Structure 1
Amino acid sequence: MQPVARDEDFAFHALLTPNRSLSWEGFRQVMAVVIAVNVMNALIYFTAGAWPVAFFCGVDIFIVWLAFKLSYVQGRRHERIMLTDDALWVSRVLPSGHETRWKLNPFWVRVEIDRPIEHESQMRLIEKGKTLIVGSFLSPKERGEVADALSAALAKAKV
């Protein structure tokens, strides 16, 4: 079930996703280098008679792969902010696929963010004393840009 019709015009629509600095091709290249270096080390230690060390080289490969896997799973998290004439919809999808939606009244919502914007600054949507924090995974600059754009769209909607 969608909160708004697909063809509905939005006064504001943003899909917020975490930054991913490494593409899948980059991941493959990094893993190829990690595997090559660890296999070479394992062969050196194995031929020197230190075969238990070779086992730990394989563990290193697994740990690096696991760290990247967990990072990419967390990268599936996203938030969507949609402003229509009568509602501000916020949708948060967790890496597990669980989605939570909020419907806010655009005439009561205000956007707050600490200035100057720093790493710890949070973008808050406040409606009648209730607070919803959005975009926590964005960079400070991106949070500021989204907050400014959403504030402008809300101000325009209230006119």
Structure 2
Amino acid sequence: MSPAKSDFAAHDVAGEEPTLYRVRLAPHRSLDERGFRMVMLIVGGVSLVCGTAFLLMGAWPVFGVFGLDVLVLYIAFRMSFRSARAREEITVTPSLIEVRKIDPRGAADEARLNPLWTRLDKEFHEDYGLQRLSLTSRGAPVVVGGFLHTQQREELAQGLDLALAQAKRGVVRSEL
């Protein structure tokens, strides 16, 4: 994840509303494409060598099972890489909270909330920390940061807490 950018009180264009908080969230994957190819080559090579040894001993069904394991591992990694394409973009201004969720297929779902009527709900687990984070307005929760680790979710909660507090206090604008 690592919030891509957090901007507090940044002004976009003169006369427009300041952006109190902006973050773009993405799931973390520790293995990149190059690492994936390396893992698949090693697993495939070991599978081929072991499978060939069993094939030479006459246990030909074992050879197929080794190939099946490699196929299942390949499919699991591909599914993981596909789910990593999900994104969340959260922008808080004094009059609007905009949450945009983009699923792995690229379909976007947007929620627009009034920061004055929105509260940040946090569900804690005694042993594991912050487990769920949602912005709730008029009884309708919008879950944010669902794919983040606990520490990252806590950082997101701090940023949103500060931005909501600032939006509820009001933003002082100076006329030049």
| Cα distance between partner residues in 1 of 2:19 and 2:31 | 32
| Cα distance between partner residues in 2 of 1:107 and 1:82 | 15
| Cα distance between partner residues in 2 of 1:46 and 1:121 | 49
| Cα distance between partner residues in 2 of 1:119 and 1:59 | 39
Q: Taking every aligned residue pair, what percent have the same amino acid on both sides?
A: 33
Q: Give the corresponding residue for 1:4.
A: none
CA contact (8 A) 1:73 1:95 kept: yes
CA contact (8 A) 2:99 2:111 kept: yes
* Bigger strand share: 2
Q: Give the corresponding residue for 2:151.
A: 141
Shift of 1:85: 3.3
* Structure 1 residue ranges (4+ consecutive) displaced by more than 4 angstroms after TM superposition: none
Q: Give the corresponding residue for 1:125.
A: 135
Q: Give the corresponding residue for 2:83.
A: 74
Cα distance, 1:119–1:31 mapped onto 2, change above 3 Å: farther
CA contact (8 A) 1:78 1:92 kept: yes
> Residue deviations 1:27-64, cap 9 Å, x none?
11111110110010121112112222212211111111
> Residue deviations 1:92-114, cap 9 Å, x none?
11112211001111111111213
Q: Which amino acid in structure 1 is aligned with residue 72 of structure 2?
A: I
CA contact (8 A) 1:113 1:144 kept: no
| Cα distance between partner residues in 1 of 2:107 and 2:129 | 27
SS in 2 for 1:114: strand
Of 52, 60, 68, the residue aligned with 1:51 is: 60
Q: Which amino acid in structure 2 is aligned with residue 43 of structure 1?
A: T
Shift of 1:19: 1.8
The size of the alignment, in residue pairs, is 153
TM-score (norm 2): 0.79
Check if 1:85 corresponds to 2:94. Answer: yes
Aligned pairs for 1:1-159 within 5 A:
10-115=19-124, 118=128, 121-159=131-169
CA contact (8 A) 2:130 2:154 kept: no
| Cα distance between partner residues in 2 of 1:61 and 1:77 | 26
TM-score (norm 1): 0.87
Considering only aligned residues, what root-mean-square deviation do their CA atoms show, in Å? 1.8
Q: Show structure 1 runs of 5+ residues with no match.
A: 1-6
